Amino acid sequence: MNVLGIDIGGSGIKGAPVDLDRGDLITERFKVLTPKPSTPEAVTDAVRQVVEHFEWTGPVGITFPGVVVDGVTRSAANVDKSWIGFHAAETFSKTIDLPVTMLNDADAAGVAEMAFGAGKGHRGLALMLTFGTGIGSALFVDGTLVPNTELGHLELDGYDAEKRASSAVKDNEELSYPEWAERVERYLQHVEMLFSPTRIIIGGGISRKWDKFIPLLKGIQAEIVPADLRNNAGIVGAAMAAASAQRSAE
């Protein structure tokens, strides 16, 4: 089964059709920049561009960088605040005239990694963390998702953790990998104290350079591994969610 997945991020909106038997993209992904300001109207138009690029006519899965409950976006840390309380799935569906399923972006990435990547077959408590514009999180107990955890907003040293340890902060403050890894380790220690995961999966765009920082994270008891699907995990997870919704509706 092939389904279009679209991943809305703080800096880019990317999508591609996904082969759900293999958990892999069928074609090169298509990306447009996240509009500024990133209002629902502007982002909806960008999503329409992605759908039209692939001339897609089936179900669509879409991720969002915030809490999503029943297709309604409940938070908006790295996009325009007008998303809060917005009926996003319904609006997207009307705009592109296709069935739309929405979920949190890190949840989507985690679902994909648990099915096809670094979390496959893991029992116990696993935590997916995506480092990008912010820090997204997806928590799994014996493979079952606990949705919308948003652990990037835990307080760390008086700040939202993502304001100290996201990969965007690394770039903006021109931190070296050792300097940034020190902050990431501090954050992971805080998360580990609260949840005691046995495996932590590191995703987001910076995961392709995992060898530059994961070996530096020595003060963590959990096994730390890079995401296998790298920055495509959100697209794959979005497509998986749409396929699941379609099966439930049939």
Helix (H) or strand (E) holding 17: strand 12-19
Report the amino acid identity of residue 108.
A
Closest CA to 101 of 238, 234, 233, 249: 238
Q: Quick one: pLDDT at residue 77?
A: 86
Residue holding tokens 């979920």? 103
Q: Two tokens at 135?
A: 């820090």
- What CATH number matches the domain at 121-227, 3.40.50.2300, 3.30.70.260, 3.40.50.10470, 3.30.420.40? 3.30.420.40
Asked if the domains 2-107+232-249 and 121-227 are classified in one and the same CATH topology, the answer is: yes
Pairing of strands 159-160, 100-104: unpaired
Does pTM top 0.85 for this prediction?
A: yes
Predicted pLDDT of residue 164: 96
Q: Answer yes or no: are the C-beta atoms of 3 and 23 closer than 8 Å.
A: no
- Average pLDDT of each block of 10 consecutive residues along the chain (250 residues)? 94 96 96 96 97 97 97 94 97 97 97 97 96 95 96 93 96 98 97 97 94 97 96 96 91
Give pLDDT, residue 11.
86
Architecture of domain 2-107+232-249: 2-Layer Sandwich (3.30)
Handedness of CA 239, 113, 65, 241 (dihedral sign): positive
**DSSP assignment string, 56-81:** --S-EEEEESS-EETTEE---SSS-G
Q: Please check whether residue 233 is in contact with residue 103, taking contact to mean a CB–CB distance below 8 angstroms.
A: no
Q: Establish how many alpha carbons lie within 13 A of residue 70's alpha carbon, considering only the half-sphere containing its beta carbon.
A: 1
Which of 77, 48, 68, 94 lies closest to 237 in space, CA to CA?
Answer: 68
Amino acid 150: pLDDT: 95
Contact between residue 168 and residue 132 where contact means Cβ atoms under 8 Å apart: yes
Q: How far is 138 from 147, CA to CA, in rounded Å?
A: 7
How many CB atoms lie under 10 A from the CB of residue 169? 19
Please report, for the chain, the start and end positions of each structural domain, with discontinuous segments joined by +.
2-107+232-249, 121-227
